[in-house]
Chains A and B, each alone.
Chain A
Amino acid sequence: MKDAPYAAAESALAGEIAAAHEAGEPVEIVGGGTRRALGRPVQAARAVSTASLSGIALHEPGALTLVAGAGTPLAEVEAALAREGQRLAFEPMDHRGLLGSSGEPTLGAVAAMNNSGPRRIQAGAARDAMLGVRLIDGRGEVVSNGGRVMKNVTGYDLVKLMAGSWGTLGLLTEIAFKVLPIPEAEATVMLTGLDDARAVEALSAALGSPYDVTGAAHGEGRTLVRVEGFAAQIAHRGPALARLFSPFGKAEIVSGEASAALWRGVRDVEAFHGREGAVWRVSVKPSEGPRLVSALKAQGAFAALYDWGGGLVWLLTAEEGDAGAALIRAETRARGGHATLVRGSAATRAAVEPFEPAAPGIAALEARLRAAFDPKSILNPGRMRG
Chain B
Amino acid sequence: MQMPEPEARILSRKAEIVARLEAALSPGAVIHAEEEVRVYECDALTAYRCPPLAVILPSSTAEVAAALRILHEERVPVVPRGSGTSLAGGALPTADSVILGVARMNRVLETDYENRFIRVETGRTNLSVTGAVEAEGFFYAPDPSSQLACAIAGNIAMNSGGAHCLKYGVTTNNLLGVTMVTMEGEVLEIGGHALDAPGLDLLGVICGSEGQLGVVTEATLRILAKPEGARPILLGFDENEVAGACVSDIIRAGVLPVAIEFMDRPCIRACEDFAHAGYPDVEALLIVEVEGSEAEIDDQLAKIREIAARHSPREMRESRSAEESAAIWKGRKAAFGAMGQINDYMCLDGTIPVSALPLVLRRIGEMSRDFGLDVANVFHAGDGNMHPLILFDANKPGDLELCEAFGAEILKLCVEVGGCLTGEHGVGVEKRDLMEHQYSAADLEAQLRVKDAFDPRWLLNPAKVFPLHVTAGRRMAA
Residues of A within 8 A of B (CB): 60-65, 84-85, 114, 116, 120-121, 124-125, 127-128, 137, 141-145, 147-161, 163-165, 169, 180-184, 204, 207-210, 212, 229-230, 232-233, 236, 283-287, 308, 311-312, 336-338, 340, 355-356, 358-359, 361-362, 365-366, 368-369, 371-373, 384-386
Contacts and interface: CB of A to CB of B under 8 A. Distances in A.
A151 B447 contact: no
Contacts of B435: 154-155
A149 B115 contact: no
30 contacts: A60-B353, A62-B248, A64-B251, A124-B169, A125-B195, A127-B204, A128-B173, A143-B443, A143-B445, A147-B418, A148-B353, A149-B419, A150-B384, A155-B439, A156-B209, A156-B447, A156-B465, A158-B446, A160-B201, A160-B205, A161-B204, A208-B225, A210-B225, A210-B228, A230-B299, A283-B197, A311-B194, A340-B198, A359-B188, A373-B449
A153 B198 contact: no
Contact of B113 (A121, A125, A155, A208): A208
Q: Which interface residue of A63, A128, A156, A338 has the most chain B CB atoms within 10 A?
A: A156
A137 B199 contact: no
B150 interface: no
B478 interface: no
A337 B192 contact: yes
What 10 A-B pairs come out closest when comparing CB atoms? A160-B204, A62-B248, A151-B423, A181-B254, A356-B198, A372-B449, A283-B194, A368-B453, A150-B383, A338-B198
A148 to B, nearest CB: 6
A42 B59 CA distance: 47
A165 B449 contact: no
Contacts of B421: 154
A362 B202 contact: yes
Nearest to A240: B293
A233 to B, nearest CB: 5
A260 B166 CA distance: 25
A369 to B, nearest CB: 5
Nearest to B205: A161
B8 interface: no
Interface string B413-433: 000001111111111000100
Given A149-B384, A208-B137, A285-B112, A158 B423 contact: no
A169 B295 CA distance: 49
Given A145-B443, A184-B254, A373-B446, A210 B227 contact: yes
Interface in B437-473: 438-440, 442-447, 449-454, 465-466
Nearest to B187: A361
Given A63-B248, A154-B435, A365 B202 contact: yes
A285 B159 contact: no
Contact of A128 (B169, B182, B199, B295): B169
Contacts of B450: 156, 158, 161, 369, 372
B440 A338 contact: no
Contacts of B453: 365, 368-369, 371-372
B196 A116 contact: yes
Nearest to B204: A160
Contacts of B138: 208
B116 A365 contact: no
Contact of A163 (B201, B207, B442): B201
Contacts of B202: 161, 362, 365-366
B226 interface: yes
A385 to B, nearest CB: 6
B251 A147 contact: no
Between A160, A183, A311, the greatest number of chain B beta carbons within 10 A of the residue's beta carbon is seen for A160
Interface in B345-361: 351-355
B142 to A, nearest CB: 11
B377 interface: no
A149 B225 contact: no
A365 B188 contact: yes
Contact of A284 (B172, B194, B227, B451): B194
A36 B35 CA distance: 63
By CB atoms of chain B within 10 A, which of A155, A209, A284 has the most? A155
Contacts of A183: 254
B201 A114 contact: yes
Given A149-B418, A149-B420, A210-B226, A157 B172 contact: yes
Nearest to B357: A63
B249 A62 contact: yes
Interface string B149-183: 00000000011010001100110110000000010
A113 B320 CA distance: 46
A366 B115 CA distance: 29
A312 B115 CA distance: 12
Nearest to B88: A153
Q: Max chain A CB contacts within 10 Å: which of B194, B351, B453?
A: B194
B114 interface: yes
A361 B188 contact: yes
Contacts of A184: 254
B384 A336 contact: no
Contact of A356 (B172, B199, B207, B443): B199
Nearest to A166: B200
B385 interface: yes
A212 B230 CA distance: 14
Contacts of A169: 200
Contact of B197 (A120, A142, A165, A338): A338
A374 to B, nearest CB: 11
Given A147-B418, A154-B427, A157-B205, A165 B200 contact: yes
Given A161-B201, A312-B195, A149 B352 contact: yes
B453 to A, nearest CB: 4
B36 interface: no
Nearest to A148: B418
Contacts of A232: 295-296, 299
Contacts of B269: none
B186 interface: yes
Nearest to B439: A155
Contacts of A366: 199-200, 202
A127 B446 CA distance: 19
B385 A151 contact: yes
Given A164-B196, A208-B114, 14 more contacts: A62-B249, A114-B201, A147-B438, A149-B383, A149-B384, A150-B384, A154-B420, A155-B465, A156-B465, A181-B256, A359-B189, A361-B182, A366-B200, A385-B199
Nearest to B227: A210
Contacts of B419: 147, 149
B231 interface: no
Contacts of A207: 116, 225
Contacts of A180: 256
B265 interface: no
Contacts of B444: 155
